[in-house]
């Protein structure tokens, strides 16, 4: 284990002592007489040591968090005020921030000229941006629990390969130690960029303009979401997304064509099927759902779980029904309860108290409303599985788009 310590002055508005832990393999001149520790006086020295050129000369290989990631590069740039971030051996220029939430920030980045011919070979051809523009999510990690969650998000995201699921292209995790001696981490996750925003963003704009999607667009957007979710539900064991909502559906507009829908954010995705056999297990599930599943789209059984229940992927079907409603009317189906005197979002959801918007609304066929009702059954056993949902939406597409 190699420890690197250096005092970096005036990072932001404070001094920060940074320590990076790395494993060193195949060090030249250390095969027979290895030293337990080695110290670099500057991050620049460490970065030069960890560069591809140095490694080609036998300088060793840095590994971190189970990934072959040159974390020192990213740390060096942030510590010295540079505008670049390194992920593995790929260098990205930060252009601007495009979003934030909780402990995460999303940046628009452009890939710089690869430093070696080896870097492009690792990329999936379908995920290479022609103009080098990507979205980079930076997560500030303050606890072991948060670190475990990020690692799980990376693991789960790497399982899926579908055109309607946002792919994780690359990632890095950096360990940092402050002057107070506390360890923290920063994670960098690289994704394709979608600059047209999410369904939630578009809904807010359309609501302010009193605009609605056409029946054709509603069905085609929804079908793409279903295809992505079907891919997850088809795993063995099936995976539930657990946070299907308009804010997690990216939209790409195409002139003269229906928008492309891409389901994202797999931080809450887990194996879908759980056997609940005690009150304690039921309360644990409810507590987990309260932290990971957005309240307006959370299934009734995750609000009030019985002490004896079999939970499955149909929790996502409830969320899918709520999202279809939101695509149609630009609002979620149960948040009306928050505006009522004595209203309760939980009671509205658990009792399935669905209300249709008052006033002028788009002339959607009644079959579309019945489709929503079919998915919003409070009893999970009464809800369809994703395969049935896809078959039904295909029938509606054939009827209304042909």
Residues 6+ apart with CB under 8 A from 251: 194, 196, 197, 198, 199, 201, 202, 221, 259, 260, 261, 262
Q: Which residues of 252-279 are buried (b: 16+ CB within 10 A; e: fewer)?
A: eeeeeebbbbbbbbbbbbbebebebeee
Q: Choose among 350, 312, 173, 129: nearest CA to 232.
A: 312
| Residue 131 designated active-site | no
Peptide bond into 237 cis (omega under 30): yes
| Spatial contact of 356 and 233, defined as CB atoms under 8 Å apart | no
Element (H, E) at 91: strand 90-101
- Rounded to an integer, what is the distance from CA 54 to the centroid of its chain? 35
SS3 for 236?
A: coil
**In the block, which residue shows the tokens 């979620």?**
332
* Catalytic position from the list 243, 265, 312, 316: 243
SS3 for 180?
A: coil
Residues designated catalytic: 243
């Amino acid at each position: 284990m190699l420890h690197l310590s250096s005092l970096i002055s005036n990072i932001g508005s404070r001094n920060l002592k940074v320590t990076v832990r790395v494993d060193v393999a195949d060090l030249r001149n250390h095969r027979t007489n290895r030293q337990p520790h080695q110290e670099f006086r500057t991050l620049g020295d460490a970065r030069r040591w960890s560069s591809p050129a140095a490694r080609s000369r036998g300088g060793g290989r840095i590994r971190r968090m189970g990934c072959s990631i040159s974390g020192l590069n990213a740390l060096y740039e942030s510590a010295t005020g540079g505008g670049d971030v390194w992920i593995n051996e790929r260098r990205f220029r930060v252009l601007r921030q495009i979003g934030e939430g909780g402990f995460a920030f999303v940046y628009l980045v452009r890939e710089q000229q690869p430093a070696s011919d080896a870097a492009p070979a690792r990329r999936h051809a379908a995920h290479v941006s022609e103009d080098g523009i990507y979205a980079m999510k930076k997560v500030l990690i303050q606890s072991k629990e948060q670190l475990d969650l990020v690692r799980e998000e990376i693991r789960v995201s790497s399982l899926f390969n579908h055109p309607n699921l946002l792919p994780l292209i690359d990632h890095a995790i950096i360990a940092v130690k402050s002057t107070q001696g506390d360890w923290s981490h920063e994670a960098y996750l690289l994704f394709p960029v979608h600059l047209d925003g999410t369904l939630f963003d578009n809904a807010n704009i359309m609501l302010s303009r009193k605009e609605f999607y056409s029946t054709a667009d509603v069905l085609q957007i929804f079908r793409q979401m279903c295809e992505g979710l079907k891919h997850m539900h088809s795993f063995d064991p099936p995976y539930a997304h657990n946070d299907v909502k308009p804010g997690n559906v990216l939209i790409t507009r195409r002139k003269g064509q229906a928008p492309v829908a891409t389901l994202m954010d797999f931080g809450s995705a887990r194996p879908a099927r759980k056997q609940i056999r005690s009150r304690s297990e039921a309360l644990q599930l409810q507590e987990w759902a309260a932290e990971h599943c957005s309240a307006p789209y959370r299934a009734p059984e995750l609000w009030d779980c019985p002490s004896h229940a079999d939970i499955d992927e149909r929790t996502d079907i409830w969320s899918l029904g709520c999202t279809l409603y939101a695509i149609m009317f630009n609002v979620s189906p149960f948040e009306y309860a928050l505006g009522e005197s004595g209203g309760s979002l939980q009671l509205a959801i658990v009792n399935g108290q669905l209300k249709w918007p008052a006033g002028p609304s788009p002339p959607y066929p009644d079959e579309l409303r019945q489709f929503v009702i079919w998915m919003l059954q409070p009893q999970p056993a009464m809800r369809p599985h994703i395969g049935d949902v896809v078959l039904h939406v295909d029938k509606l597409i054939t009827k209304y788009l042909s």
